Homo-oligomer: A and B are copies of this chain.
Amino acid sequence: MLAQLFKSSRNVHPAPTPGKVRFVGAGPGDPDLLTLKALDALQAADVVIHDGLVPNQIVLLARKAVKIIPVGKKGFGHHTPQEEINARIVENALQGHTVVRLKGGDPTVFARLDEEIEAVEAADLTYDIVPGITAASASLSAIGQSLTKRGRNASARILTGHDMKGFADHDWRALAQSGEVAAIYMGKRAARFIQGRLLMHGAAPDTPVTLVENASRADQRILATTLTQLPDLVDQADPKGPALMLWGLSPRDAAAQDILVQELA
């Protein structure tokens, strides 16, 4: 009751000094993959502005927040324009609130962090960034593979399917080499395009590709296939959740890890 009163009084009398902004990684979805620091930030937040990808279980950890603002960016459906997200962050922090901008995964990986920081800086607000477990890391853990491995690949790439149409030819050629590994975010819709480019640049048709849908969540699905069958797998499996594509990797040993692997004949 006291907490309730305290909350209301805050709205009526906004603090005179500006608050601050914390960009916080919510991780891939499993609430246990939050960091302790992210949990602390959520529990201390006055305002939480979160993506559609962040599960409710995590958002609800912000127990003392006076405002929870969803800024849905869920796949290709309705989404809040970036300018509006920026404005919401800034206006709430200027009112004296500690604003947690909660992003699925890691704020430094395909999260449009730069635009938001620029808005925060333009308003002379301070900020910090709390890293999170990115989908690639959760997906690799799920299939029992490393991003790199001696004798296979000394480097790996992180890229997004959204931007692949601007991908240079030298990138495709490098990616098509035997032993290359890449974690492709938001690659579901680009599956047929990716297949075409890689085959054109000489990639082996039987190169393994694994899709991890809803990595780390209860409804995680692991879809193992090859470059040849990739687009058909995507059509048939029709993943609705966020899916990470691991180019050049197959699940190590499904049985030992008690995971569901779906393979197409």
Contacts and interface: CB of A to CB of B under 8 A. Distances in A.
Nearest to A255: B126
Which of A34, A112, A141, A156 is packed against the most chain B CB atoms within 10 Å? A141
Nearest to A130: B141
A102 to B, nearest CB: 15
A60 interface: no
Contact of A121 (B114, B156, B256): B256
A197 B7 CA distance: 59
Contacts of A128: 141, 257
A16 interface: no
A142 B130 CA distance: 9
A204 interface: no
A136 to B, nearest CB: 8
A147 B108 contact: yes
6 contacts: A33-B131, A127-B144, A128-B141, A130-B141, A148-B160, A155-B163
Interface of A: 25, 27, 30-37, 39-40, 106-114, 117, 121, 126-134, 137-138, 140-142, 144-150, 154-160, 163-164, 166-168, 170-171, 173-174, 177, 182, 252-253, 256-258
